[in-house]
């Protein structure tokens, strides 16, 4: 593993990026509101990454982006780089179907085991699973063998979280750390002297486990809000765990409903926040704890390019969100061959873009922040 200096994700994606709200950062591309009807989305929410609606939005944006190029070229093929079999694999297949494009996906998560490649032929595209990010070279060779050219008729979708930034199995812990840090800072800001860091950590660790996903919906906003309410003393962790495990407390809606019924027992500083989160949850906002997510933007930005040039590779991988050199190198090569590159991120926009106030201070969206590049 080596250092490759510093760069930004925008070096190869420019502003062809969507975060969770599916509103492209490049303002020449249509917003989700503009295209909702045209892609047949009747509900008001934001489609989740694994849904067919999400794929239709992405396919529409890819066609729009390809129309902006000179000379114009039809999209004939899709390449997808990601880090999760289920999430990225499903999104990839849906996008292939939505655009009626053949596709090849590379999904990697690094581990200590000997290098392995697994090929998974699906009706809607072929997936290659790898346990090395460096196996992207084998992926390129495989595409070539199959006569699958990556050129101006190819669109390359890059997943940002734990793929382009913070490679899974190598640097992804830092991404989780900065989110937890944001949770700590937000909750301690509310509870002040009452804040008990170890109680927060314990509650977070327990309720973040997969067995509690039905209760938390695996939603970090919900989870941090729950930890805040626990910190405020409305209900004890042990008590809540018993309620959840016994099936009496089934989901987050029930929890926040309970808090709402007992809102007068909340410490004063939590009352207003609860009202705010409750209103957003009622409107179906999947990112209802805005302050936590704004803080996450700050803690994320604070871990990019944060160490000086004497930092070792190990220090960078444990303390900095780095750009994955293997992904960057492949992207630069494919762009040189004329491919259209597009970045997708499931990170909430509030955690990815600076607020207006921060923007005025010169803060940039995550994909435009300079950070270290590390890879094999
Ligand atoms: Mg990812």
Q: How far is ligand 1, taken at its centre, from the CA of residue 105, in Å?
A: 13
Query: What is the pLDDT, as a whole number, of residue 39?
Result: 95
Of 226, 247, 230, the closest CA to residue 196 belongs to 230
Nearest-5° Cα angle at 68, 65 to 70: 130
Query: What is the pLDDT, as a whole number, of residue 72?
Result: 85
Q: How far is ligand 1, taken at its centre, from the CA of residue 195, in Å?
A: 32
Number of Cβ within 10 Å of residue 288's Cβ equals: 22
In 154-236, alpha helices (H):
172-191, 197-207, 213-216, 220-231
- What is residue 37's DSSP assignment? T
How far is the C-alpha of 198 from the C-alpha of 60, rounded, in Å? 47
Nearest-5° Cα angle at 136, 112 to 94: 105
Q: How far is ligand 1, taken at its centre, from the CA of residue 163, in Å?
A: 6
Q: How far is ligand 1, taken at its centre, from the CA of residue 36, in Å?
A: 24
CB 226 within 8 A of CB 203: yes
Query: What is the pLDDT, as a whole number, of residue 214?
Result: 96
Q: How far is ligand 1, taken at its centre, from the CA of residue 222, in Å?
A: 20
How far is the C-alpha of 212 from the C-alpha of 244, rounded, in Å? 8
Residue with the two structure tokens 């840090």: 181
Query: What is the pLDDT, as a whole number, of residue 44?
Result: 81
Query: What is the pLDDT, as a whole number, of residue 85?
Result: 95
If the chain, 376 residues long, is cut into consecutive pieces of 10 residues, what is the mean pLDDT of each piece? 98 98 97 95 88 97 94 94 96 98 98 97 96 98 97 98 98 97 96 94 97 95 97 96 97 97 93 96 92 98 97 98 98 97 97 97 98 97
Q: How far is ligand 1, taken at its centre, from the CA of residue 206, in Å?
A: 23
| Torsion sign over Cα 198, 204, 209, 212 | positive
Q: How far is ligand 1, taken at its centre, from the CA of residue 366, in Å?
A: 15
Q: How far is ligand 1, taken at its centre, from the CA of residue 133, in Å?
A: 13
Q: How far is ligand 1, taken at its centre, from the CA of residue 343, in Å?
A: 11
Domain locations in the chain as residue ranges: 2-170+322-375, 172-297
């Amino acid at each position: 593993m080596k250092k490759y200096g510093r760069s930004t994700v925008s070096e190869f994606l420019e502003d062809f990026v969507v975060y969770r709200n599916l509103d492209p950062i490049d303002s020449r591309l249509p917003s989700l509101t503009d295209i909702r009807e045209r892609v047949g989305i009747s509900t008001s929410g934001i489609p989740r990454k694994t849904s067919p609606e999400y794929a239709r939005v992405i396919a529409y944006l890819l066609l729009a982006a390809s129309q902006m190029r000179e000379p114009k070229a039809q999209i004939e093929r899709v390449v997808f780089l990601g880090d999760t079999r289920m999430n990225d694999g499903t999104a990839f297949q849906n996008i292939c179907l939505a655009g009626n494009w053949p596709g090849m996906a590379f999904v990697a998560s690094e581990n200590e085991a000997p290098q392995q490649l697994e090929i998974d032929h699906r009706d809607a595209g072929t997936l290659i699973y790898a346990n090395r990010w460096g196996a992207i070279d084998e992926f390129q060779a495989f595409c070539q063998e199959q006569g699958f050219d990556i050129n101006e008729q190819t669109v390359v979708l890059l997943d940002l979280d734990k793929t382009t930034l913070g490679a899974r199995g190598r640097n992804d812990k830092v991404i989780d750390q900065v989110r937890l840090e944001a949770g700590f800072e937000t909750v301690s800001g509310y509870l002040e002297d009452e804040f008990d860091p170890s109680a927060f950590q314990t509650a977070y660790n327990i309720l973040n486990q997969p067995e509690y996903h039905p209760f938390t919906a695996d939603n970090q906003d919900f989870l941090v809000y729950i930890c805040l309410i626990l910190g405020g003393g409305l209900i004890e962790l042990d008590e809540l765990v018993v309620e959840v495990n016994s099936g009496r407390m089934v989901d987050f809606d029930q929890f926040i409903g309970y808090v709402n019924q007992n809102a007068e027992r909340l410490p004063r500083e939590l009352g207003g926040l609860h009202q705010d989160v409750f209103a957003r949850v009622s409107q179906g906002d999947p990112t209802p704890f805005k302050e936590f997510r704004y803080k996450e933007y700050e803690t994320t930005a604070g871990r990019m390019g944060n160490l000086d040039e004497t930092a070792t590779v190990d220090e960078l991988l444990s303390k900095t969100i780095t750009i994955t050199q293997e992904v960057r190198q492949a992207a630069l090569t494919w762009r040189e061959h004329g491919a259209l590159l597009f970045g997708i991120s499931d990170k909430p926009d509030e955690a990815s873009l600076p607020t207006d106030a921060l923007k005025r201070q010169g803060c940039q969206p995550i994909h435009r922040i300079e950070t270290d590049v590390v890879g094999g």
